[in-house]
Amino acid sequence: MDNFSIYISPGLIKQLAEGNDQPKRKAKRIKPKVSPQSKADQAKTHHDAAEKPNPMAVQPPFFFPIPQQAAANTELEAIKSVVKESEKVLEKIERQEKNITHEVTERAKDLREKEFKIPEPKPMPCSSENEAWMKCYKENIDNPLKCSDLVMRFRDCSRWSKQQASSKMA
């Protein structure tokens, strides 16, 4: 068996998709093969007709080329079926792409929410003691010794919280 390949050009695919069955070129006319003897008969008939025109003379037969529409139609149908199948595969791939894109987007959102979650700020230890001695100093600018008790409470609180933090680390 002979191996052969078929090249389907983009223009042909476009033409098939649009449904335009008109070929760009006209079919070539095939000249009938005439044997040398029949050529001689035709020349003799032509020569006889030139000598005396006979209105009833039989004209030589004219051969029309046999249209090969059947073969072209089957080939065209095969190409159309391949194009339709390719379109179905393309639609399937596009649907898969949409599904995968949606799934990847959802997973990315989930990861972003889990990874980049802002932690809740921990309350600063001894913040009330800190505010109290600062307020006292602002009110008693002339006599800051009145705030010594508040400063001592803040110091004790800060030492205690420091010890708590170091014990958690150990």
pLDDT of residue 76: 86
Q: Which of 61, 67, 70, 63 is nearest to 26 (CA)?
A: 67
- pLDDT attached to residue 99: 94
Which residues of the chain fall short of a pLDDT of 70? 1-2, 4, 19-71, 117, 170
**Domain residue limits, the chain:** 70-117, 127-164
Which pLDDT does position 166 carry in this prediction? Answer: 85
Q: Write down the residue that tokens 């000249």 correspond to.
A: 31
The pLDDT of residue 170 = 63
Quote the CA–CA distance of 155 and 81 in Å, as a whole number. Answer: 88
Pairwise CA distance, residues 34 & 170, whole Å: 112
Look up residue 110 and give its amino acid: D
Instruction: Supply the pLDDT for residue 94.
Output: 94
Give the pTM: 0.31
Helix (H, G, I), strand (E, B) or coil at 131: helix
